[in-house]
Amino acid sequence: MMIGCLFIHGFTGSPYEVQPLADYLQEQTDWKIAVPVLPGHGETLSLKKIACTEWLDCAEAALIELLEECDHVYVVGFSMGGLIAAYLTARYPVKKLVMLSAAAKYLNPAQVKEDVKDMMKDLREKKLHENELFLRYREKLLVTPPSAARQFQKVVGLARPSLKKINIPVFIAQGTADGIVPVKSAPYIYRRLSSAERHLYYSQDAKHLICHTGNTEELFKKVFTFLSG
């Protein structure tokens, strides 16, 4: 039986965000893995004049391709990609859904404050170039147009009503030290699903990039067990 697995990255992101988990599943299985780059995204951002429908269309096209080629298809979405994944899952015969750091709610002020304190400490100690969070988000803060942020908010608005239409098995993972998505986003999603089988997992000390921080080995094993079970 041919199994396909679609990964959808986050807002202002790239496949980098989910690549460690995609690579892990590729090593463990013979599944067909797809990790498309959403329009305007990638390592160099070009988000001006990009509409959220272009992101949805891109992910939808990748999903349709897998559905045509595979017997079963799983979808894994990170951050905004988690909401796009939910939106598509409510409309297509997806077998299982994984939502990582899914942005049903966004910006966690308390954790942002902690991250900024870390950055200021590194700045004082002249180590800011070593601060992983600063390096990844410096360019994003400089080049993300306000219009793109509004398109992100439109995705959230489109996807939230889809949650109650989902009745397949769902695995939700959330980092406890996420500075972008509040931890309460995960139970918010959990409560709104219609799925009989749904799992909520908190990755201790993981930041927003949940596939790169915290106990990734435990997270990857849990996702693999869920999808292959």
Q: Is 79 a catalytic residue?
A: yes
Is 212 one of the catalytic residues? Answer: no
CA gap 21, 18 in Å, rounded:
6
Is 224 assigned a ligand-binding role in the annotation? Answer: no
Taking the C-alpha atoms of residue 55 and residue 76, their distance in angstroms, rounded to an integer, is: 15
192: its two tokens: 């709104």
Q: What are phi and psi of 109, to 5 degrees?
A: -55, -40
Annotated binding-site residue? 80 = yes
Alpha-carbon dihedral 116, 206, 76, 140, rounded to 10 degrees = 20
- How far apart (Å, rounded) are the C-alpha atoms in residues 87 and 160? 8
Of 115, 178, 185, 203, the active-site residue reads 178
Considering the candidates 41, 79, 115, 162, report the single residue annotated as catalytic: 79
Q: Which of 9, 162, 185, 208 is catalytic?
A: 208
Contacts of 21 (CB under 8 A, 6+ apart): 7, 76, 100, 211, 216, 219, 220, 223
Active site residue 178: yes
Binding positions for substrate are 11, 80
Which residues are tagged catalytic?
A: 79, 178, 208
